[in-house]
Amino acid sequence: MMEFSTWDIVRNLLLAARWTIVLSLVAFAGGATVGLVILFLRISKQKAARVFAGGYIELFQGTPLLMQLFLSFFGLSLLGVEVPAWLAASVALILWTASFLAEIWRGCVESIPKGQWEASASLGMGRFEQMRHVILPQALTIAIPPTVGFSVQVVKGTSLTSIIGFTELAKAGQVLTNATFMPFTVYGFVALIYFALCFPLSKSSQFLERKLNVAHRDH
Amino acid sequence: MSLIEITEVRKSFGDNEVLKGIDLNVEPGEVIAIIGKSGSGKSTLLRCINGLETINAGSIQVAGAQLATDELHLKALRLKVGMIFQGFNLFPHKTAGQNVMLSQMVVKKTPKPQAEEMAKKMLDRVGLGHKFDAYPDQLSGGQQQRVAIARALAMQPVALLCDEITSALDPELVQEVLAVVKELASEGMTLLMVTHEMRFARDVCSRVVFMHLGRVHEIGPPGEVFGNPKTPELRQFLGQTH
Ligand SMILES: Nc1ncnc2c1ncn2[C@@H]1O[C@H](COP(=O)(O)OP(=O)(O)OP(=O)(O)O)[C@@H](O)[C@H]1O
Ligand SMILES: [Mg+2]
């Protein structure tokens, strides 16, 4: 059997952590884009659009992320489409992230006083112009802390992709445990690395929240 | 043809019929005060004229622009009538100047330099040229309301709708806003204002509309409406407020 030093373990985990970071970024960027579209549908004047977006959100929030990963990985291969694990993982995480971001942002948009819609409407702005120039800039400020806060969930969510065979941090931990028979050490480091990724995010979410509360008063 | 033609307008919220057939024609340059008890439908009438509420029956026309529910017709109408709200509704993330510039640039596609020039002119007109770079929360209520007036004026409307625009203000700030409105009136702007300032209505308005239970109950020049109310409802209303 090969000998693993502690450094070997840490080095391998850190290398795998790169994929956790990449997957998190992809999920977050993609999720934000899709989420913005869902948001617009969710607050649209068209009932069909609102119903569709509402259903989308319910579906992805109401089922475990794990099932969504299974379905996108095994489901698609059943249909004869060979999807690599990284693709299935990205797609599932993007759609899952989008459902939460859309709902977080909807709350922020709805917290903008009705008077802002009415004033901008009375000045002749169309719905898209109102969103673009009046509502979203204000909603965005409120949305930053919960959005950054949710990114922690995305990072942790990526660990589930190990199940469909995508080699990120959690999967690397599994592989290393099998090779070293030192589960406690290995998973201890895995947990530490997750913590090192998530802690700054949740801290900055809190910091931004405080800062934005102050900025509200004196520009 | 009148500037604003309101014909047989009806509006219900669910089972509650709030406007029960309103007829009102406003000539260019007229200043109309709308008075009446709380819940008589004054705000609803103004909001219908601006398309913020959709009407159930009747028609509204402003300078030939017909009220309809599609965005294109609405926009054409809203370019003709500006609206000032009780709660100011300035955009808090923009300075006073940017508040006045925004819709010119977005809606009318006015190039920035011209929009800025217009914003300066309009802020000067309401006595706030020096507050161009101030954010709304750095302004007093009276100043915010004057910025809101400048913002509406910058779109060069043919008429302004004012819904209790001094009601949210501390008493000492009311006059500075009314002075601006008076100035506009004397310059020939057509104004429709819901107000509780009876003194102002008497001094400045050409006609007073008394609304009661969703109808125009009495209408006439201020001297007549205030000096010689014909209906018991108006007498009672005036008795209450004086
Ligand atoms: N969006 C709405 N949904 C349901 N009912 C409404 C709505 N807006 C107004 N109403 C009702 O319509 C009636 C008239 O309201 P409106 O605001 O026009 O009265 P008003 O004359 O402006 O009163 P006030 O002097 O208190 O401002 C009230 O009974 C009110 O409850
Ligand atoms: Mg009212």
In contact, A53 and A38? CB cutoff 8 Å: yes
Phi and psi (nearest 5°) for B53?
-120, 145
CA B214 – CA B44 distance, rounded (Å) = 9
Bridge partners of B211, per DSSP, are B36, B216
Report the relative pairing of strands B81-84 and B57-62 from DSSP bridges: unpaired
Indicate if the pLDDT at residue A1 is higher than 60.
no
Q: What is the pLDDT of residue B71?
A: 80
CATH number, domain of B77, equals 3.40.50.300
Number of domains forming the structure of chain B: 1
Q: Taking CB atoms and an 8 Å cutoff, what residues of chain A touch B82? A: 122-123
Answer whether residue B135 is part of any domain: no
In contact, A170 and A85? CB cutoff 8 Å: no
In contact, B181 and B148? CB cutoff 8 Å: no
- Look up residue A72 and give its DSSP letter: I
pLDDT level of residue B191 (50, 70, 90 thresholds): very high
Q: What is the pLDDT of residue A77?
A: 81
Indicate if the pLDDT at residue A217 is higher than 70.
no
Q: What is the pLDDT of residue B145?
A: 96
Answer whether residue B138 is part of any domain: no
Answer whether residue A80 is part of any domain: yes
Answer whether residue B71 is part of any domain: yes
Report the complex ipTM.
0.92
Nearest chain A residue to B157 by CA distance is: A123
Nearest chain A residue to B95 by CA distance is: A219
Q: What is the pLDDT of residue A206?
A: 87
Answer whether residue A57 is part of any domain: yes
Q: Given an 8 Å threshold on Cβ–Cβ distance, is B85 in contact with A118?
A: yes
> Residue written as tokens 């003709």?
B80
Indicate if the pLDDT at residue A183 is higher than 60.
yes
Residues with CB under 6 A from ligand 1: B 13, 16, 18, 36, 38-44
Answer whether residue A137 is part of any domain: yes
Mean pLDDT, residues A170-198? 93
A118 alpha carbon to ligand 2 midpoint, in Å?
14
Q: What is the pLDDT of residue A54?
A: 96
> Residue written as tokens 């956790």?
A20
Mean pLDDT, residues B80-107? 96
- Return the SS3 of B29: coil
Ligand nearest to the CA of B196: 1
Indicate if the pLDDT at residue B17 is higher than 90.
yes
pLDDT level of residue A138 (50, 70, 90 thresholds): very high
Contacts of residue B99, Cβ cutoff 8 Å, sequence gap at least 6: B90, B91, B136, B147, B148, B151
Q: Taking CB atoms and an 8 Å cutoff, what residues of chain B touch A213? A: none
B60 alpha carbon to ligand 1 midpoint, in Å?
19
pLDDT one-digit tens code per residue, A8-62: 899 999 999 999 999 999 999 999 999 999 999 999 989 999 999 999 999 999 9
Nearest chain A residue to B51 by CA distance is: A122
- Return the SS3 of B228: coil
Tokens, residue A125: 């702005």
> In this complex, is the C-beta atom of B134 within 8 Å of any C-beta atom belonging to chain A?
no
Domain that holds residue B28: 13-89+158-241
Report the relative pairing of strands B215-220 and B207-212 from DSSP bridges: antiparallel
Domain that holds residue A38: 6-218
Indicate if the pLDDT at residue B20 is higher than 70.
yes
pLDDT one-digit tens code per residue, B103-126: 999 999 999 999 999 999 999 999
Tokens, residue A123: 């000045």
Q: What is the pLDDT of residue A83?
A: 85
In contact, B82 and B157? CB cutoff 8 Å: yes
Number of domains forming the structure of chain A: 1
pLDDT one-digit tens code per residue, B135-151: 999 999 999 999 999 99
pLDDT level of residue B240 (50, 70, 90 thresholds): low
How many residue pairs from chains A and B have C-beta atoms closer than 8 A? Answer: 63
Mean of the per-residue pLDDT values for chain A? 91
Bridge partners of B60, per DSSP, are B6
pLDDT one-digit tens code per residue, B193-212: 999 999 999 999 999 999 99
Answer whether residue B210 is part of any domain: yes
Answer whether residue B182 is part of any domain: yes
Pocket test for ligand 1, best of B15, B20, B43 (most atoms within 8 A of CB): B43
CATH number, domain of A111, equals 1.10.3720.10
What is the percentage of chain B residues whose pLDDT exceeds 70? 99
| Backbone CA torsion sign across B98, B104, B110, B116 | negative
Q: What is the pLDDT of residue B195?
A: 93
Phi and psi (nearest 5°) for B28?
-55, 135
For residue B54, the tally of other CB atoms under 10 A from its CB is 12
> In this complex, is the C-beta atom of A119 within 8 Å of any C-beta atom belonging to chain B?
yes
B238 alpha carbon to ligand 1 midpoint, in Å?
21
Q: Given an 8 Å threshold on Cβ–Cβ distance, is A129 in contact with B106?
A: yes
Answer whether residue A32 is part of any domain: yes
Answer whether residue B148 is part of any domain: no
Tokens, residue B118: 């217009």
Q: Where are the alpha helices (DSSP H) in A45-132?
A: 47-62, 65-70, 76-78, 85-110, 114-122, 127-130
> In this complex, is the C-beta atom of B160 within 8 Å of any C-beta atom belonging to chain A?
no
Q: What is the pLDDT of residue A150?
A: 95
Indicate if the pLDDT at residue A216 is higher than 90.
no
For chain A, the helix, strand and coil percentages under 3-state DSSP, each to the nearest 5 = 85, 0, 15
B164 alpha carbon to ligand 1 midpoint, in Å?
13
Answer whether residue A197 is part of any domain: yes
Look at A212 and B164; give whichever has higher pLDDT: B164
Answer whether residue A198 is part of any domain: yes
- Considering the entire predicted model, what is its pTM? 0.86
Mean pLDDT, residues B225-235? 93
Q: Atom 2 of ligand 1 has which residue's CA nearest to it?
A: B13
Answer whether residue A95 is part of any domain: yes
pLDDT level of residue B241 (50, 70, 90 thresholds): low
In contact, B96 and B130? CB cutoff 8 Å: no
Answer whether residue B151 is part of any domain: no
Q: What is the pLDDT of residue B88?
A: 94
pLDDT one-digit tens code per residue, A113-128: 999 999 999 999 999 9
pLDDT one-digit tens code per residue, A58-98: 999 999 999 999 998 888 888 888 888 899 999 999 999 99
Answer whether residue A90 is part of any domain: yes
Q: What is the pLDDT of residue A3?
A: 75
Tokens, residue A104: 């977080």
Q: Where are the alpha helices (DSSP H) in A158-182?
A: 169-180
Answer whether residue B188 is part of any domain: yes
Q: What is the pLDDT of residue B100?
A: 97
